[in-house]
A and B are shown apart, each in its own frame.
Chain A
Amino acid sequence: MRMASERPYPACIVGAYEHPTRYAPEKSVAQLHAECARGALDDAGLSFADVDGYFCAADAPGGIPALMVDYMNLKVRHVDGTESGGCSYIAHVGRAAQAIAQGRCSVALITLAGKPRSSGQATGTELRVLPADRPWSAWESPYRWTVSGIYANFAQRHMHEHGTTSEQMAWVKVAASMHAQHNPNALLRKVFTVEDVVQSPMVADPLHRLDCCVITDGGGALIVTRPEIARTLRRPHVAVRGFGETVRTGDGGDFDLLRTGAAASGRDAFASAGLVPGDVKYASIYDNFTIMVILQLEDLGFCARGEGGRFVEDGGLVSGVGRLPWNTDGGGLCNNHPQNRGGMTKVIEAVRQLRGEAHPAVQVPGCDIAMATGPGMVFGIGHSHATLLLERMA
């Protein structure tokens, strides 16, 4: 392991807040962003006046940082509106750490919020016909593609190449539900069985309804700051140990559908941290669909290619039981998937684990290294990916 002095990102997460709502028709998206910001600042023991860097993605009103900066009346000297879909907030932590290392800001605020549930959005199953100016639109819009339909193609190919079964994929949902039962804010707290999953209605073969994540209103926020400031705060702090991000392209049509962006972002995160998969005590791995967890486990090096199905079965991801404690908040599959963007909640649960503040039933003993990783957007149209490695500081 690297010595502390060699750590490439001298930055710490000192505030983390997951909005408790899952349904918020009575609030604006801007108000939800601001409530998340307040929650994370309160958690850190900081105030809005301390913030000098602001990070958001396309879920922010107007899709740019400036409108929320104005709404919250922040006095910033650095903004970053990097839009990488659902993994934006994982990438924002890495980018905030880089900005802090470069002296561009000292207290970075990252927010996410949205209301797909109260607006009745059918995220995974709605037909996607997108504007003509996007390079891929003409070539994909005619085919009535859906997000679940694309991930179902991933699953079908994995079953074809590796013999993965619907029951193995179902184990991912089962593990999430075993964790979610302990989370009072989780949208789904019912413990599901493998049979529940494979007997739920087929959405897009071979993916069943319970292979898919939930749709929720809500959001979250994070505060990243310099170690010198972190040491003055009352909260345990969590160092940014490694980071990687990438865009997984369509490779000009010469692609392997089973290789995700995690192969590149994970490689870079482990290399910058000087760590290997065996060092990771807890992993938040974005779970928009059960199959995507299996693919990422392989690409991140937690198991060999094709072994993901066997890795997750029989409770492989269940905290206290399996080989890799994972998504102990219940993940996007059961707990929360605010604005259809799972990156924020992935970081937040990793922070809880490193602080020892996860629910006692799912807390990983001695959790000193945690991962938060996930994709953004959809394959073929700029499938982003980001991976963070975080370390509890003494």
Chain B
Amino acid sequence: MSNSNNDSELAAAQARTLQDTYVQAFPETQAFWLASARGQLLLPHCASCGRSHWHPRAFCPFCHADAISWQDASGRAEVYSFSIVRRADAPYVLAYARLEEGPILMTNIVDVEPAAVHTGMRLMVAFRATQQGRMAPVFRPHS
């Protein structure tokens, strides 16, 4: 694939992101979703207290400073807790993952047999398109 094709795919993904009503409702999180569209997980980091939080806000929920900047996250995480949701066409894993940087977030564990998921399982971020257009972080097993 040529760079120009990559560039046009990225441009299309970012255009879909900007059309997403969930992104539009919170303009201050737009940078997060534009990064997701290019496969990068960002975390909001507070320069005042040094902590990262979830879900992203333009101010720190710990010290309430507005000195928030976006930092690249490693994408590494582990399963904090999980459930296999059965009442669906195909069972899926609804989980909380703890990022290497500390915050815990709701997510799905994908590309795995649900019965193989366990607390503490090591994970790596991936991205999955939502119905509205943005790319949402999900996680897959990672050795």
Contact = CB atoms under 8 A, between A and B. Distances in A.
Contacts of B128: 142
Contacts of A122: 87
Interface string B4-31: 0000000000000000011111100100
A71 interface: no
**The 7 nearest A-B residue pairs measured at CB:** A253-B54, A253-B103, A152-B83, A252-B61, A142-B136, A252-B53, A138-B22
Given A143-B107, A253-B105, A254-B102, A203 B96 contact: no
Interface residues of A, number: 41
Nearest to A255: B104
Interface residues of B, number: 43
A255 B21 CA distance: 28
B55 interface: yes
Nearest to B96: A153
Nearest to A153: B81
B88 interface: yes
Contacts of B87: 122, 125, 146, 148, 203-204
A291 to B, nearest CB: 11
B92 interface: yes
A138 B29 contact: yes
A203 B86 CA distance: 5
A260 to B, nearest CB: 14
A149 B85 contact: yes
B83 A132 contact: no
B97 to A, nearest CB: 11
A154 B23 contact: no
Interface in B49-108: 51-57, 60-62, 80-88, 92, 94-96, 102-108
Q: Is the interface of B mostly helix, strand, loop or mixed?
A: mixed
A133 to B, nearest CB: 5
Contacts of A132: 21-22, 24-25
A162 to B, nearest CB: 12
A139 B85 contact: no
A133 B88 CA distance: 27
B15 to A, nearest CB: 18
Interface string A130-165: 001101111111111110111011111100100000
30 contacts: A138-B25, A139-B54, A139-B106, A143-B94, A143-B107, A143-B108, A143-B136, A144-B88, A144-B92, A144-B108, A145-B94, A149-B85, A152-B85, A153-B82, A153-B96, A155-B83, A204-B86, A205-B86, A251-B61, A252-B61, A252-B103, A253-B104, A253-B105, A254-B51, A254-B62, A254-B102, A254-B104, A257-B81, A257-B96, A257-B104
A125 B83 CA distance: 13
A252 B22 contact: no
A184 interface: no
A140 B137 CA distance: 10
B94 A153 contact: yes
B48 interface: no
Contacts of A253: 52-55, 102-105
B102 A138 contact: no
B134 interface: yes
A204 B119 contact: no
A143 B55 CA distance: 14
Contacts of A320: none
A153 B85 CA distance: 10
Contacts of A81: none
A135 B55 contact: yes
